[in-house]
Amino acid sequence: MINRTNTLSHVSNKTVSLLSVLVLSFLIFNNSFAADATNGESLSQTCLGCHGAPGLRNPGPVYSIPMVGGQHAEYIESALKAYRSGDRSHGTMKAQASNLSDENIADIAAFFSAMEGNSRPSHVNATMANNGKEKSAVCASCHGAIGDGDNSSYPKLAGQYESYIVQALKDYRSGDRKNAIMSGFAGTLKIEDIRELAAWFASQQGGLSAPQSVIFK
């Protein structure tokens, strides 16, 4: 004979356990998206020393410091964590990111991603850009047809500085940046391929900006 009391108790316990898991999952999910852009602005004052004005250059190797205003928050987070862990090799960025918690990184990403971006097409070699367009088809599934895609795991490239894109692809090719997908792709590229892809994406208009920091106003 079935003990109805024990059965109901067992069902009740399972229900409570399930509800507890759902509540915990809900809280974790919400907390993971509770980024504070206001705090991010405060934390980003050091970042703005390099990223807060258009045209500033990395000293060595020399290339334009990338625009991060309007970039996908998820991508900014992954990039900062890669600098923190050493998966990306850059002394200054490693030093900056090493002091940041995951919460700090999420806040900084929220601040920069909320900026309006309207990156103007760079003046590039038209022949190189056209060649790059033909070679960029493989990039489109992650970055969008012109590099201004909506997949937040991957960076916007449209209108980004040509020299920065060149350097990033060279770093993926050399292993100074570690990413299985990009390392595999960049490993097949010759330097002319890299320059042509960079010219194509830099010549597009997209959603990036170099925020005008008060430091440079």
Catalogue the E-assigned strands of the chain.
Answer: 57-59, 62-64
**Percent with pLDDT over 70 in the chain:** 82
Is the pLDDT at 207 greater than 80? The verdict is yes
30 and 131 both lie in a single domain: no
Per mean pLDDT, which of 1-10, 86-95, 116-125 is the most reliable? 86-95
Query: Does the structure show a pLDDT above 90 at 80?
Result: yes
Q: Are residues 114 and 134 in the same domain?
A: yes
pLDDT at 83: 98
Helix ranges (H only) for 4-72 are: 4-32, 37-43, 48-51
Same domain? 133 vs 28? no
**Cα separation of the two ends of the chain:** 83
Asked whether residue 48 falls in the same domain as residue 134, the answer is yes
pLDDT given for residue 213 in this prediction: 57
Do 54 and 24 belong together in one domain? no
Question: Which pLDDT score, from 0 to 100, does residue 171 have?
Answer: 98
Domain count, the chain: 2
Q: Which residue has the higher pLDDT, 183 or 24?
A: 183
Structure tokens at 152: 């937040």
Is residue 9 located within the same domain as residue 66? no
Q: Is the pLDDT of residue 134 over 70?
A: yes
Query: For residue 64, is pLDDT > 90?
Result: yes
Which residues constitute the domain of residue 29? Answer: 1-34
pLDDT at residue 19 is higher than 50: no
pTM over 0.85: no
CA distance 143 to 156: 6
Half-sphere exposure of 105 (CA within 13 A, CB side): 22
Distances (CA, A) of 21 to 25, 27, 187, 188, 192: 6, 10, 44, 46, 53
117 and 171 within one domain: yes
**Average pLDDT score over the chain:** 87
